[in-house]
Amino acid sequence: MIGGGPGGVGAAREARRRGASVTLVERAALGGTCTHAGCIPAGAFHRAASILDEMARAPAVGVSVVPGSADWGRLQSWVGQVVTRAAALTRTTLESAGVEVVAGPASFDGPGRVQVGGRALEAAAVVLATGAASIVPQLPDPPRCPVLTSTEAMALGRPPAHLLVADAARFGLEWADLFAHLGSQVTVATTDARLLPAEDADLAGFLQILLERRGVRFLLGVTAGEALADVQPDAVLFADTRVPATAGLALPAAGVTIGPDGAVAVDAACLTTAPSVFAAGDVTGGPWLSNRARAQGVVAAVNAVGGSARFRPERVPRSVNTHPELAAVGLTEAEAGARGLAVAVGYGELATSLRGITLGEDQGALKLVVDTEYGEILGGHMVGAGAVEVIAQVAAAMELEADYRDLARVSHLHPSLAELVTEAIASI
């Protein structure tokens, strides 16, 4: 395995579980971008935003609190502790599974042959999981303020007074929401006509409204360069601009083809154009999701040791860690309709959820997309409290190929957010 992020670790554990001898090579820090500059620190940062939200709502439920504020330096320290702990857990997980970990940059010198710091490694199969790197694109008229990636945003000395976020995709929206919570004036510029064009239009529009209420300003159909003529930010953030990390790997020596977008080409078995060389995660291109990388890593490992598995991207859930959060799995209503399927949708509203009401979190909804002819669950989409956990239930049902009507028979605790699934099915 080349790469110690979710894809490489997932592949290593699965290969060991199936009895293979495994060596994992990591040139930087175990855990990859997810642990050190992605979802783990983002989740820790957003814990502070969640607490600020709870403090703002506390008087409504009879709890008196002083006005909440965040100490940026102490917050950074907390995030650092979380990252350190997550990285240590990754190492412990690999060691307990019997995976040999080798530190250093790897490069191919032939099919199945990898050089690491002067040491030659040979294997019957190789899984490439080197991830992707954040970049700042060339701007025609560079601003005078700092231009940042997510990693650099984490290390700022203080939150910027005015932040311009380039693109209204997943990571950009998460940072926009966080800094808005911390008191920054935030402007988001995107060349798209709306937020999150790959997600359900209704729910993405609702999320935009909620973020605007928090004070985030959106400039749609506008490039970051054009936005600079309208705003004078203290920093510009490119959080979603990434390229697959293939530099220095000497992939042609192994017969691995790189596509025009810089990504390693793979098939449904996660096999590259080279026999016995597989690839998983961000090195194969977007979407940049840790659970996608892990799922591909498992598929790659199964096939690398002689098994048979297929990666199903439509069954990989995705999320945007804003407040409230957005989560989804599968097809949107528009995508399903474009395929000519017998599409129906159902809704579970947080405004009528007794759990949502008791939590004081009654804004948002779950939207289920189903095929009424075959009973297939085509997709689930939610904005609101607990969206990640509710969508996990939908994703599990899709993986098990359950008929959507089967979910109506599942008994949920009451009151619970899980009941939104039952309500959505009942409305179809």
From the candidates 36, 46, 381, 414, which is the catalytic residue? 414
What the block records as the tokens of 388 is 């990640």
Cα–Cα dist 173/178, whole Å: 9
In the numeric block, the tokens 């935030």 are attached to 186
**Residue 180: which of 210, 149, 150, 220 has the closest Cα?**
210
Give CA angle at 48 (43, 54), nearest 5°: 115
The DSSP-derived string for 236-290 is: EE--S-EEE--TTS-GGGGT--B-TTSPBP--TT-B-SSTTEEE-GGGG-SS--H
What the block records as the tokens of 262 is 């810089």
Give CA angle at 322 (131, 423), nearest 5°: 110
The packing angle between helices 72-96 and 6-17, to 10°, is 20
Active site residue 414: yes
**Residue 116: which of 208, 24, 190, 178 has the closest Cα?**
24
Q: Which amino acid is at 112?
A: G
Cα–Cα dist 165/236, whole Å: 6
CB 160 within 8 A of CB 233: yes
Q: Which amino acid is at 379?
A: G
C-alpha count within 13 angstroms, C-beta hemisphere, residue 112:
7
The packing angle between helices 419-426 and 387-399, to 10°, is 60
Burial class (CB in 10 A: 0-12, 13-18, 19+), 96: exposed
Q: Which residues of 38-57 are buried (b: 16+ CB within 10 A; e: fewer)?
A: bbbbbebbbebbeebbbeee
If DSSP codes are grouped into helix, strand and coil, which group holds residue 119? Answer: strand
- Could you give the residue numbers annotated as active site? 414
